[in-house]
Amino acid sequence: SSWNPLFQAMKREVSAAFNSGGPEDILSRGFKLNVTREDICTLQPQGWLNDKIMNFYMSLLVERSKKEGYPSVYAFNTFFYSKLSSTSHKGVKKWTKGVDIFEHDIILVPIHLRIHWTLLVVDLREKTIKYFDSLGQKGDHVCKTVLKYLEEESREKRNIELTASEWTLHSMGTEEIPQQDNGSDCGVFVCKFADFISRDKPIIFRAEHMPYFRKKMVWEIIHQQLL
């Protein structure tokens, strides 16, 4: 019961974020991003999350991973994969300037496929590349593209050859991960896949949790703090 006033205050804050003010009002600043009310409104029911919301949330996951007890996480931004797939490694090699991605445990690659969000996850500890799609489509070609990128990045940045045969590539099946039941929740699914994976937690949420996750994400982005 002591939580109830707090919960009500949070609900009021989320409601105000959607409703009080102009679309260009900046509600959160961080990670070289300005999140406006218009961006936040993509988190309303049935809204399609935009790049800014996706990238801000991924940055929050990376920040959290710097705390004790969490696996170390690196996240590419949402424009990385489309650039990689159209230009190969040479087109994106500057994106990791001054960063050794191989020093991390987990690499998150959010992917925008025209009107659908999916997630690719590299686990450097296990040598696995997994593809998460809440509409159940396979992404074997995406896994192969990213493995080739990792091979070239490793060769160029640290002069180490990756052995491709040691790696397991896998598109998660519809029986392995929850699936969306509408045409708009793919971005929230990607954010929550990334949230659970970046805590080494099993993915136990379901489609019915999406309205709650949307509100929670509004609060987290405004406060730049994951609950």
Instruction: Please write the tens of the pLDDT for every residue from 194-225.
Output: 999 999 999 999 999 999 999 999 999 999 99
pLDDT(176) > 70: yes
**Residue 136 in this model has a pLDDT that exceeds 80:** yes
pLDDT score recorded for residue 6:
78
Q: Are 99 and 90 in contact (CB under 8 A)?
A: no
CATH label of the domain that carries residue 194: 3.40.395.10
**CA dist., res. 184 & res. 34, Å (int):** 23
Q: Out of 39, 104, 186, 191, pick the active-site residue.
A: 186
Catalytic status, residue 186: yes
Question: Which residues span the domain enclosing 39?
Answer: 5-223
Q: Quote the pLDDT of residue 33.
A: 95
**How far does the chain reach from its first CA to its final CA, in angstroms?**
18
E strand or H helix at 149: helix 140-158
Confidence class for position 227, pLDDT limits 50, 70, 90: confident
What is the mean pLDDT of the segment spanning 149-155?
96
Mean pLDDT, residues 84-90 taken together: 92
Domain count of the fold of the chain: 1
pLDDT grade for 2, boundaries at 50, 70 and 90: low
For the cut 80, the answer to whether the pLDDT of residue 43 exceeds it is yes
pLDDT at position 1 over 80: no
DSSP string, 73-95: EEE--TTHHHHHHHH-HHHHGGG
State yes or no: pLDDT of 7 exceeds 90. Answer: no
Quick: pLDDT tens for 55-77.
999 999 999 999 989 999 999 99
Cα–Cα distance, 47 to 41 (Å, whole number): 7
- Integer CA distances (angstroms), 18 to 9, 35, 191, in order: 15, 13, 20
Q: Annotated catalytic residue: which of 89, 116, 170, 209?
A: 116
Q: Kindly state the tokens that stand for 79.
A: 């424009």
Share of the chain above pLDDT 90, in %: 88
The pLDDT of residue 80 is 96
Which of these is catalytic: 133, 143, 185, 195?
133
The yes-or-no verdict on residue 89 having pLDDT over 60 is: yes
The string of DSSP letters for 167-191 reads -EEEEPPTTTS---SSSS-HHHHHH
* Mean pLDDT on 92-100: 92
**pLDDT of 146 above 60:** yes
Residues in the chain: 227
pLDDT band at 5, cuts 50/70/90? Answer: confident
Q: Encode pLDDT of 157-166 as tens digits.
A: 999 999 999 9
**Catalytic residue flag (residue 181):** no
81-116 burial, b if ≥16 CB within 10 A, otherwise e? beebbeeeeeebbeebeeeebbebbbbbbbbbeeeb
pLDDT of residue 3: 63
Element spanning 36, H or E: strand 33-36
